[in-house]
Structure 1
């Protein structure tokens, strides 16, 4: 006899109680629009509109993650969607455990964070923001998607918008590059996996522990442990263990679309991995594109109410382009001034 237990994670909604002091957890800038996630025992979504470019530049210059700010604001209604074919913004915020949406009228910096890790994170963000192709570098490296809205629409229509958000694919490229680099430096195999695991932990912190990155990062770390200590656990079982651990850490990740996409596609690619090993590069790429499209089809239809049936063909070109050329060049741009080359690739 099987017994199913339904567990519901309930967190009592706290009141703003006229709070005016908050910590900046996240922020995204699009033209003169600023979107923030703030915290003070509760998490709130905040919007602010810069008066001009000068005010925008001042914010970029003086404000960072984990800064303490004082704000004057008005509370906006979290409206439930009336049209079932519209994006459910209400549920989106609820899923992130955000109970309030506010509009900031005035914002004042009170205190900077003195945490060494936060200082390093802010310096990395500032360095990347100084690049001409910072929007793409933030999207691919930091998970902070500030790509032009018109380009986003094009990528969505082509069915390749998933390539412009950090996922398990980016983690695979990231780990492959560093494993190869440490191999060239004649570092022992076990130590290579340990060093890359440490880098991944810092990278998860750098990306504010995005669900898909956390899942992919923990998966690699568990694979490394399995390899180093010869546990001989099958990768698919390690993936299931990873998903369980991640959901124990943060149950709300189950509501994140990126996490669902990443977990499902990874499961089926691992399931068919033995078959993929016997295929040529082109056939393997074709098979991966088809599997990814079939697995993601129901979710895409549910979210967008449409799907481009030619998207797997576009993916045949864009997946290797992004994974072999574009993403590695963005990483290289961190140490070499090759903005011009990346700008050219974006243009064409």
Structure 2
């Protein structure tokens, strides 16, 4: 494990940067950056509270219970719950989703580089970025977090200094399809369901008394990323390049973490690289994003749904209560209702919304 004294701030920094960059990847699909609909942003903030916060606590609770990374944890957690081994598939779904998401991020970055008027094919740019991402994933995790953070901060600063022209806020009627988009941005764009945050500081998660001390800083960092994105748009060459550097480092970071999960399962090295490289390189195919973008959103939602059902209905109550270690039984009961009822129903509605928007 790469747990050091830096682990105290590593997870919140990751949460801010990854949320910001994944939001930037998924936002064009929802159209929110174009319309600037105030009602949608309020709905998004509500989903951050009632959906993202409970599942953020869920990740930390599972980490404290298992004391290992997400893919490895499911073996232990299913044994503890006397549950079917089929539940372990969600771990594999999560680790396979990571390179798929990294490919989407790099594909979006190649589109952003069009702002810089680079006369290079998008497919070639994606291929170059993918190879660089795989190579950089071999760097120490702390270095990748630092580069990602500097890139994100530079992008925000330069985007505003160089004249970010955003439309005025407008209030419009809330539509059913907006719930699906808000849920995707609250859960998938926050990196939830992949186990990245419990993996980033595993020792601290395993020893700290209350889950709140780990979950709340992560959630607040995600919330700050949402607010920062409300005032962000790339209209110049410099922020386009800094954004691409940040995205490249972030993609390398999550690939690094996915490879660690695969290593813990003692997979052959060649198989590890295939699992990472194939989903990443699929984004080279021209116009493949038209098919993959909806799949990306649905896949991420399904992962969160399975985790919510497993933790809320399959795991033993005593195990999670001990892992959460809330100061009040009332807080635990509220969280459990959110995970057992609110999360599954909300995600199912969001899946219906996303599927409906495709037809």
- TM-score tier, shorter chain, comes to under 0.3
TM-score by length of 1: 0.25
Higher strand share goes to which structure? 1
Higher helix share goes to which structure? 2
TM-score by length of 2: 0.24
